Structure 1
Amino acid sequence: MKSKRLSDSIIIRLLALSLAIMIFGVLSRYYALGSFLRQDLGQVVSEQQLALAGYVAHDIDDKIRQRKALLSRLATALPPELLDRPDALRAWLKERYQYQPLFSIGLFVVRPDGRVIADYPEVPHRMQVNYGDRDYIRQSLQGRFYIGKAITGRSSGVPVLPMSAPVQVSGEVPAVLVGVTAIAAPGFLDLLQQSRIGDHRDSFLLISPRDHQIITGSQSELTLQPMPEPGRDPLHDQAMAGYRGAAVAATPQGEEEVRAIVQVPSTGWLVVAKLPGRDAFATVARVQHFTLRQALIAFVVFSVLACGGMYIVLRPLFRAARHADRMTRGELPLEPLPIHRKDEVGYLIASFNRLLRKLEDKQTELAQMAHHDSLTGLPNRLLLSDRLHVALAQAQRRETRLALLFMDLDSFKMINDTLGHKAGDKVLWQAAQRLSGTVRQSDTLARIGGDEFVLLLSDLDDKAEDIARTVADKCLEAFDTPFLVSGNSCQLGISIGIAIGDGYSNPDSLLQAADQAMYRVKKTGSSGSATIHL
């Protein structure tokens, strides 16, 4: 029962509504703020990634250009006559290598048939290797500088990046000068390989779209790995199709990632800077968690304050409800409720009080209608019966007597038939007024139907019959004066039957005796009274 009252409480409902609105606002702010921060932070992080990738690409481009410039100068400066003197050519290479050791694996010169003429530093098995199948050898034999595909060196056994420049003599290419740099060589790609974005190990990739190859990356195990198959990574596919820039994309594993793609101008390679979404948008998650924590605290504080505030505001209403409930159960009399404030609650209680007064007035009116004759205003048969029982009980206690006068108007039917019922009603009203003027305030004059009236005289002594006859004579005298109705003078008589009884008389017997006495008078054909003792 108590839980039912709680669920029906206006405070609980208002609180639930307020909390629902508050929760809706918090969730809206949670998602709206998260979306805004993700969008704003995503743009900032993308620009940062683009700047980092651009910086790394610029560094790689500088390193490649240095090596290209050096190798091209050496190829141009190489004396053609040394091509037939391997030892002298090796000495020449040694001198230049020691002066600018940009190619960590070394320099060597290859004939058009792919055989090595000389190298430095000297590698024992290099002279036996045929390089004719290498892409960079074939391209340089056609007279141009070329950066070969990154491979695992045949002689060194480590991932290397070969570059080649043609040695031209009179428009012919009798040899190719090759410079090989280990991909992991210090001062070459170490900015890309050693840099980390936050705690993310796989921060950078260096990709060769021409060779469909990952040259190297922040994770060394990615070196010389093939690129993903088309369709596995949409952003990678876009990069292969020419897209350059930064975007938030999903990895093949379905994880969110911020990637920036920048091209190395001198090679066509792509530098890819990567940052996992969980790191990129960690601030968003922290802000959202902070928002939820603050909302939870506000939720608790609001609940306490709202409950207390609404209880204080609505306390007069609760008091009024309890007061009204006790009145409906009969524990308190029906009375206006006290008004403590002039706000909406006070206005409601005042309206209730006005309604209560109207109900009391209506109840009084209904009681009047239930116990009184609507035409004359005299008590009706029901009220007469109640007062007769009270008078009999009183007479029994005091050992007194009472009299009941049953009166019937003579010639009243003729007035109704000749002048109409409205005229008859007026005659009845005038008759009631005349009879009322002849009785005491303690007596009861009632109209019990038609033209019949009953007068109850209570608390009489041994001279009850004399008193009753005296009152009957007054009633007869009241009818000596004609009645004026609609300009007509009407003379009416009255037949009065008197029943005398005491406290032990029966109410119905009294009324029947008075009625019989009245009919005795009727039979005489003239007004008068007759008495019967019980």
Structure 2
Amino acid sequence: MEPFALWHSFRNSLRFRITFAILLLFLLTMTVLWYGIAHGLRTDLERPLAQQQESAAMALATRIDDALTVRMNALYSVAAGLRNSVDNPALLKGDLANLHILNQLFQAGVIAYSTQGQPVARLRAGVEEVSHLAEALVPQMPGKLSLIGAPFQTQNGKTLLLPMAVRILDRTDAPWGILVGLIDLNNERFISGPVSEPIGKTGGFLIISPQDKLILAATDPTRAMKPAPPPGVNPMHDRYMRGFEGSGVAVNSRGIEELSAARGIPATGWFAVAVLPTKEAFAPIARLNQRITLTILTLSVLVCILSWWFLNRQLKQFALAAHEL
């Protein structure tokens, strides 16, 4: 008998059809069962992971907010002690130079402006910073006690500065000017330190300014000082930009599905994001899926062998009984 005819005869045999039906039923049952289990496992695992991400984002946001609050309170305290020296630029500069707290908290510089926007005294701040703030920050201060300005880059593009300003009063409690402290966001440990710590092997943090649509800092240095993704690219990012605080799963602007969580930083209006790719987050389920798949394939072979053996045995008995009849 030719091979094709032999295969055709085998395929049309009752034993083959029953064995094949049993195999299909087994595979269908196992697939549905495992899909339900895997979905449940992912849901159960996602909840504690999301809580961990939210805790990490909250810890970072709180740390940054507390550090900024300390610096703002220091500026208030210093400004209150300058009212007796505002009429003497040399004395004012000397007082600023002698305040070590300013050197510690505002290593990028300190500038005192008059209400007309003229720089009266400055420490460590360059001409570029003085000129930029006179145009961008000073006009925003009238009627305000304090202000945290928008971050800006120096001309070399290597330094990101955050200005913080408070009002200075003279001896008669009349507005005299403002005191500005500059924070180097690239070097300040309260931002660069915790942000540089990865989450797991491939996760990390982002600090985003929704007002400026800018990623200020990131665990991945290639993402720092880059524009935030435009609307419609990452659904979770869009929600965070609108003020949502929580967690969720979405595909980011790089095409990577990730589990993320965000918490706001009240002092600045920024938010901190903790991200972890789902490939790493749900790696245990992926490994379990591989093992279960291998187990199902092994059991499928065993089911085929046992079904074939059982049918062959039963059909032989039927054949013998029919022959005797």
Q: TM > 0.5 between the two? A: yes
- Greater relative contact order (CA < 8 Å, ≥ 6 in sequence): 2
Q: After superposition, where does 1:372-387 map in structure 2 within 5 Å?
A: none
Out of 57, 75, 84, the residue aligned to residue 53 of structure 1 is: 57
Distance 1:107 1:253, change over 3 A: closer
Q: After superposition, where does 1:112-261 map in structure 2 within 5 Å?
A: 112-120=115-123, 122-123=124-125, 125=127, 129=131, 131-135=133-137, 137-153=138-154, 158-169=159-170, 170-200=172-202, 203-261=204-262
Q: Which residue of 2 aligns with 1:388?
A: none
Alpha-carbon deviation of 1:155? 9.8
1:3 aligns with 2:7: yes
Q: Is 2:108–2:125's contact at 8 Å kept on the other side of the alignment?
A: no
Distance 1:108 1:93, change over 3 A: same
Q: After superposition, where does 1:486-505 map in structure 2 within 5 Å?
A: none
Q: Is 2:260–2:276's contact at 8 Å kept on the other side of the alignment?
A: yes
Residue correspondences, number: 320
User: Secondary structure, in 3 states, of the residue corresponding to 2:133?
Assistant: coil
Q: Which residue of 2 aligns with 1:44?
A: 48
User: Secondary structure, in 3 states, of the residue corresponding to 1:83?
Assistant: coil
Distance 1:127 1:282, change over 3 A: closer
Q: Is 2:207–2:273's contact at 8 Å kept on the other side of the alignment?
A: yes
Alpha-carbon deviation of 1:21? 0.8
How far apart in 2 are the matches of 1:98 and 1:165? 16
Alpha-carbon deviation of 1:109? 1.2
Which letter maps to 2:241? M
Alpha-carbon deviation of 1:183? 0.5
How far apart in 2 are the matches of 1:48 and 1:250? 19
Distance 1:114 1:97, change over 3 A: farther
Q: Which residue of 1 aligns with 2:105?
A: 102
Q: Which residue of 2 aligns with 1:286?
A: 287
Q: Which residue of 2 aligns with 1:312?
A: 313
Tell which deviates more after alignment, 57-66 or 91-100. 91-100
Distance 1:172 1:224, change over 3 A: farther
Q: Is 2:259–2:278's contact at 8 Å kept on the other side of the alignment?
A: yes
User: Secondary structure, in 3 states, of the residue corresponding to 1:200?
Assistant: coil
Distance 1:274 1:127, change over 3 A: closer
Could you list the per-position Cα deviations for residues 17-54 of structure 1 after superposition, in whole angstroms to 9, with x for gaps in the alignment?
A: 11111111222133222322232223232222111111
Distance 1:110 1:153, change over 3 A: farther
Distance 1:83 1:33, change over 3 A: same
Could you list the per-position Cα deviations for residues 221-240 of structure 1 after superposition, in whole angstroms to 9, with x for gaps in the alignment?
A: 43333333333333333223
For structure 1, list consecutive stretches of 5 or more residues without a partner in the other structure.
325-336, 338-352, 354-534
How far apart in 1 are the matches of 2:129 and 2:89? 11
How far apart in 2 are the matches of 1:18 and 1:173? 88
Identity %: 26
Q: After superposition, where does 1:11-50 map in structure 2 within 5 Å?
A: 11-50=15-54
Which letter maps to 1:112? T
Q: Is 1:143–1:168's contact at 8 Å kept on the other side of the alignment?
A: no
Which letter maps to 1:114? G
Say what the alpha-carbon RMSD is for the aligned residues: 2.6
Which letter maps to 1:287? L
Which protein is bigger by CA-based radius of gyration?
1
Distance 1:26 1:191, change over 3 A: farther
For structure 2, list consecutive stretches of 5 or more residues without a partner in the other structure.
none
Compute the TM-score of the two structures, normalised by the length of structure 2.
Answer: 0.87
Which letter maps to 2:112? V
How far apart in 2 are the matches of 1:163 and 1:99? 12
Compute the TM-score of the two structures, normalised by the length of structure 1.
Answer: 0.55
